[in-house]
Amino acid sequence: MVTAKRWVLVKQFVGKPKESDFCLEEETLPDEVNDGEVLCEAIYLSVDPYVRFLSSVMMKPGDTLVGEQIARVINSKNPKYEVGDVIRLSSGWRTHTLVTDMSQIDVMPVLGDLPVSLPLGAAGVTGLTALFGLNDKLKPVEGETVLVNSAAGAVGSVVGQIAKMKGCTVIGFAGTDDKVQWLTELGFDHAFNYKKVDVDEALSMAAPNGVHCYFDNVGGYLSTQTLPHIHRNGRVLIVGSISTYNDIGKSTGPYPFEDILKKCMTVNGFSIYDMYPKWRDGEAQLVDWIQQGKLQHRETITEGFDLMPNAFMGLFEGTCTGKALVKA
């Protein structure tokens, strides 16, 4: 028998997630599997803010927290998977998984010598969100100005680098001086610590003629400050709203609708899951850029499965640069 651990939701989050919202449970799994089944052990687990957003929609108390992981096959009676194979698995916050439904296993991109953790980050959903959100939705062209917030995060850092490849002027907002320094190293034309600058003044300086494309990971007041600086007929893509995920009650403004009207903006929401048919090609492109050195990435890795909630709560405190992962 295999002793497995899993993190379950104790109660729905109210405000910021806290330790009492999570419970670590043990369960016993058979070490022998039936025909067609696979037994896996987690290597890396993804830590994502969307868990906070989806918790009230997809989860109830007692459920295992949702998420992806990179896992190693430790027993198999499925001809597609051999012991030792490394796979990407949607099984949530758990150390071991008995896979009976093969749709939980997603195809891994061909990584060569690259780290196996990449399909959870820059060569996975976060990288794809940047790639398709920017190229397929915002569609910047050479010479335009692209603005991205949470720019040192797993998505934002990729957005900025791809926009530079396209010949755009890139502006990024991040929450610490160290993150701003990294953005400068990545080639961002302008990078600001939004906690230390006047956003209006910063954008007036960096984009005197306006922002053509705004990739919004944050929402809230920062985005409200940004909209007056959008170019006429500018494009706004709302990909996340991490600044308001923990809000209790309704916001009372300020409201952005007048700016949207005056500038005739195009404002779209975006879910990467609508782009699923293109994922394989997108991942191959991201891997190729990483191998060529055109796309840089960082990972913030927390050691130890027992610290999953700590890593998750850290997302809302700005402690992560690049992709947040837990090494089991």
Q: Work out the average pLDDT over 178-201.
A: 98
User: Does residue 280 lie in a domain region?
Assistant: no
The rounded radius of gyration (Å) of the Cα atoms in the chain is: 21
Residue 54: pLDDT above 90? no
Residues 143, 247 share a domain:
yes
User: Does residue 284 lie in a domain region?
Assistant: no
The answer to whether 81 and 87 have CB atoms below 8 angstroms apart is yes
Residues 233, 131 share a domain:
yes
Residues 263, 132 share a domain:
yes
Please provide the DSSP assignment of 69-136 as one string: EEEEEEEE--TT--TT-EEEEE--SBSEEEE--GGGEEPPP--TTS-TTGGGTTTSHHHHHHHHIIII
Residues 67, 39 share a domain:
yes
Torsion of CA 254, 260, 266, 272, to 10 degrees: 0
Q: Work out the average pLDDT over 54-83.
A: 94
pTM for the complete prediction? 0.94
Among 22, 46, 27, residue whose Cα is nearest residue 326: 46
Question: How do residues 194-233 score in pLDDT, each as one tens digit?
Answer: 999 999 999 999 999 999 999 999 988 899 999 999 999 9
User: Does residue 287 lie in a domain region?
Assistant: no
Domain span at 312? 2-121+298-327
User: Does residue 176 lie in a domain region?
Assistant: yes
User: Does residue 177 lie in a domain region?
Assistant: yes
Question: How do residues 3-15 score in pLDDT, each as one tens digit?
Answer: 999 999 999 999 8
Question: How do residues 97-118 score in pLDDT, each as one tens digit?
Answer: 999 999 999 999 999 999 999 9
**Residue 171 token pair:** 């502006």
For residue 208, the domain's CATH number is: 3.40.50.720
Residue 95: pLDDT above 80? yes
Share of the chain above pLDDT 90, in %: 87
For residue 323, the domain's CATH number is: 3.90.180.10
Cα–Cα distance measured from residue 251 to residue 237, given in angstroms and rounded to the nearest whole number: 20
Say how many domains are in the chain: 2
Residues 157, 246 share a domain:
yes
Q: Work out the average pLDDT over 158-165.
A: 98
Compute CA distances 21 → 61, 294, 310, whole Å: 9, 41, 12
The confidence score (pLDDT) of residue 250 equals: 67
- Residue 59 phi, psi (nearest 5): -125, 155
- pLDDT class of 60 with cuts at 50, 70, 90: very high
Residues 135, 105 share a domain:
no
User: Does residue 61 lie in a domain region?
Assistant: yes
Residues 229, 131 share a domain:
yes
Q: Work out the average pLDDT over 176-184.
A: 98
Residues 260, 150 share a domain:
yes
Domain closes at, from 256, 273, 290: 273
Residues 36, 167 share a domain:
no
Higher pLDDT, 246 or 297: 297
Residues 134, 115 share a domain:
no
The confidence score (pLDDT) of residue 19 equals: 95
Residues 50, 116 share a domain:
yes
User: Does residue 278 lie in a domain region?
Assistant: no
Residues 99, 151 share a domain:
no
User: Does residue 114 lie in a domain region?
Assistant: yes
The answer to whether 307 and 326 have CB atoms below 8 angstroms apart is yes
Q: Which residues of 245-257 are buried (b: 16+ CB within 10 A; e: fewer)?
A: beeeeeeeeeebe
- pLDDT class of 258 with cuts at 50, 70, 90: confident
Q: What are the strands, taking DSSP E only, across the chain? A: 2-9, 22-29, 38-46, 68-76, 86-90, 96-99, 105-106, 145-148, 169-174, 190-193, 211-216, 230-238, 266-269, 299-303, 323-327
- pLDDT class of 41 with cuts at 50, 70, 90: very high
Question: How do residues 266-323 score in pLDDT, each as one tens digit?
Answer: 999 999 999 999 999 999 999 999 999 999 999 999 999 999 999 999 999 999 999 9
